[in-house]
Amino acid sequence: MALVTKETKIGELLEINAEAAAPVLMEIGMHCLGCPASQMESIEEAAMVHGVDADELVKSLNEKMAAAE
């Protein structure tokens, strides 16, 4: 399983496992996953913009992706 970190770009995250990651991102209000800006944004930056804890977001993403394997 590829673990993601706060530094992982959203574009990289979606390449790793879009099916598991996209719903988590949608839950925090990141509805434009295909936008060029979001593709270059890190998980930490996305968390900050959407007012969520970056560590909790990374934990949630890694859990969802592990469960999907």
pLDDT in tens, 1-41: 558 999 999 999 999 999 999 999 999 888 888 888 888 89
What's the fold here for domain 10-68? SP0561-like (1.10.3910)
- Return the bridge partners of 9, or none: 42
Residue 62: its pLDDT value, please? 96
Q: DSSP letters of 2-58?
A: ----TTSBHHHHHHHHHHHHHHHHHHTT---TTSHHHHHSBHHHHHHHTT--HHHHH
pLDDT at 2: 59
pLDDT for the residue numbered 69: 78
- pTM for the whole structure: 0.88
